[in-house]
Amino acid sequence: MIPPRGQSARPVTPIGIAAHSLGALVEELSGNKIPAEAWERLHAVHRMIAGLDPYLEAMTTPASPDLQRLANQTASENWEQRSAAAAVHLEQEMVSGHIEGQFLRMMVKATCARSVLEIGMFTGYSALAMAEALPDQGQLIACELDPGVADLARSMFQSSSAGSKIEVRVGPASETLEELEALGASFDLVFIDADKTGYAGYLEQLLSGGLLSEGALILVDNTLLQGEPWANRNPSPPGAAIAAFNEMVVADARLEQVLLPLRDGVTLIRRVTNE
């Protein structure tokens, strides 16, 4: 069974965090004299919130054996050790997992995408999920900063049936985007899931360069950033970056967008004018 990001040891989605806090509150209050009706209401809210992610898991098509294997291997890595040796902080919770992976697969199928760009690959779960949905001649280019985690992903792609559709490019994504632009590459679907402070720059590179094919769809991960944009008065640098990114997208007349409360938030963006 895949350890989904939202239900991992450390909750990393608004729902996961709320469920965890409510559970702790219920435990803290048990034994206290609380009116029976208030208890019943508190338990009902806890059941509603804590049961949501498991229900979504159960009602969604299971991941392929290759994806399950990749998720299990990701969960079994020593991330403290890997992160210490890496160019950036890395942790198991970064993996997108079952629900989001299935969502991305369906987006690739629904848009009939043949070329996909991923910015921020980690161990390759979302890349492989999308590659599985591509036609035989389809291709996915995945950008990753850390060479160690890129090697890990490559080794898992080699033993996966859709892995040959994935090309991994190691380096800062902004540089990789410049290289791809120079090569004349263009993409039907782009998934942005790297450093949150880089999102605004990646979106602008995509919009102002020639990397988007006609009608391309851009998907952006973590746009709810654990609730920080609206529920935290002292947001972290990634939280502040996501809050500013979301405002920027809303104010950009070239775009239309929808922010979906899927896991930690996914925004779908489409260019509507060429100005």
Ligand X SMILES: C[S@@+](CC[C@H](N)C(=O)[O-])C[C@H]1O[C@@H](n2cnc3c(N)ncnc32)[C@H](O)[C@@H]1O
Binding stretches for ligand X (CB under 6 A): 88, 94-96, 120-123, 125-126, 143-146, 149, 172-173, 193-195, 198
Residue with tokens 């040959």: 164
Let me know: does 165 contact 140? Beta carbons within 8 Å. yes
Distance CA 244, CA 229 (A): 9
Q: Which is nearer to ligand X, 93 or 188 (CB)?
A: 93
Angle subtended at Cα 132 by Cα 137 and Cα 194, rounded to the nearest 5 degrees: 105
CB 227 within 8 Å of CB 184: no
242: its two tokens = 């996501």
- Least separation in angstroms between CB 110 and ligand X: 19
Closest to ligand X by CB, 189 vs 194, is 194
Q: Are 209 and 187 in contact (CB under 8 A)?
A: no
Of 19 and 70, which has the nearer Cβ to ligand X? 70
Taking the C-alpha atoms of 106, 108, 111 and 115 in order, what is their torsion angle to the nearest 10 degrees? Answer: 180
Element (H, E) at 125: helix 125-133
Q: Rounded to the nearest whole angstrom, what is the least distance from the CB of residue 232 to ligand X in the complex? A: 19
Closest among 176, 195, 13, 169 to 88, alpha carbons compared: 195
Least separation in angstroms between CB 122 and ligand X: 4
Q: Please, which residue, 19 or 129, has the CB nearer to ligand X?
A: 129
**Closest among 165, 151, 166 to 73, alpha carbons compared:** 151
Copy the structure tokens of residue 179. 């290289």
Under 8 Å between Cβ of 88 and 120: no
* DSSP structural state of residue 164: G
Shortest Å, Cβ 26 to ligand X: 31
Q: Which is nearer to ligand X, 83 or 111 (CB)?
A: 83
To ligand X, the closest distance from the beta carbon of 149 in angstroms equals 5
Amino acid at 91: E
State the nearest-atom distance from the C-beta of 46 to ligand X, in Å.
28
Output 145 or 211, the one with its CB closest to ligand X: 145
Residue placing its CB nearer to ligand X in the complex, 66 or 144 = 144
Q: At closest approach, how far in Å is the CB of 123 from ligand X?
A: 6
